[in-house]
Amino acid sequence: MSSWMIIIAAVSSFVISSVLGNFLIPILHKLKFGQPIREEGPKSHQKKSGTPTMGGIMFIIASVFVSVGCYVALCILEPNSQYTQDHVKFIAGIIMAILFGVIGFADDFIKISHKHNKGLSEKQKLVLQFLVAIAYVFALKLGGCRSETVIPFLGRVDLGIFYWIISVVVIVGFVNATNLTDGIDGLDGSVTFFASMAFMVIAGYLLNNGMSVMSAALAGACLGFLVWNFNPAKVFMGDTGSLFLGGYLCAVAYGINMPILVIPIGIMYIIEMFSVMMQVSYFKITKKRTGQGKRLFKMSPIHHHFEMCGWSEVKIVIVFSLITAVMGALTVLATFYTYSSAT
């Protein structure tokens, strides 16, 4: 039954997400919710100014409603009172992802209403994000979840109180990394599709039905969104969508009790984030030493560097997606080996 539910989750979320585009995009056009393009970005992006944003609402609605519906159906068809912690992780994870989406919505709305590319300040966003992450971790703790995690090749490791502290930092960092990956048509959605597929396989192997349907629903919803977002994009996901994606993937990683997997599976998000950190740090250091800041990359995040090197947006999406798929496959194999060795 669970296998069929995973298929149902993936297909139905794809249909809902793609069909929603027919209704949402005209509404966004009518409301004039066009994306402001930053002036310092690639010149080729200026023609995208006015393209509707907040399109992430499409896959948010699809993934949330489908995953909740399928999970409730599984609980009815396959009741098991021993999975209380699974219920906590599922509910808290869905709520966390939605709240990150709300933060992104507020950021997008301010940008649109003021007609510039500056929404919430960095401080405001970080404070809100940390509050959401802390609330999520606190919910897991209250729900009886332990500070024990599984690390590939090492097995179970108990980090004690440091597990919860590290978790807050990891969640906020990963959510922002996912947000930085949203910079060209189809990139964030494509990378997230392959990341979701990897998590779906792992969750299925662990017989974690809740995380399986969550992953399947997100994969299908992202694919449905790409119908409208692949180059040339008719709609952007906005911070509404990208922050939601980061929170959702974190929820799945914690749901299967292997949060460390966000690093290999989400390798492209991590690279995007570190490219920005390296660019800013190198610029500040060289400016302090020489009086004139220098750059490591032509532009950051790193997908813009490749654009400036002459890569097309489609080529970047394909390469980044392939890297995610390969890393996802290797992570799946590492997880299988870790659990098979422990039995």
pTM (two decimals): 0.94
Tokens for 171, please give them: 């969640």
For residue range 97-152, list pLDDT tens digits in order. 999 999 999 999 998 887 766 778 899 999 999 999 999 999 999 988 888 898 99
Q: How distant, in Å, are the alpha carbons of 181, 207, 229, 330 from that of 260?
A: 19, 19, 29, 14
Helices (H) and strands (E) in the chain, counts: 12, 2
| All structural domains of the chain with their residue ranges | 2-262
Q: What is the CA radius of gyration of the chain?
A: 20
Q: pLDDT band at residue 81, thresholds of 50, 70 and 90?
A: very low
Residue of 293, 277, 188 lying closest to 239 (CA atoms): 188
Residue 236's closest CA among 175, 182, 277? 182
Give 268: exposed, middle or buried? Use CB within 10 Å, 0-12, 13-18, 19+: buried
pLDDT tens for residues 248-286? 999 999 999 999 999 999 999 999 999 999 999 999 999
Q: pLDDT category, 40, cuts 50, 70, 90?
A: low
As a whole-number percent, the residues of the chain with pLDDT over 90 amount to 71
**pLDDT tens digits for 138-160?**
999 998 888 889 899 888 999 99
Please, which residues bridge with residue 155 across strands? 151
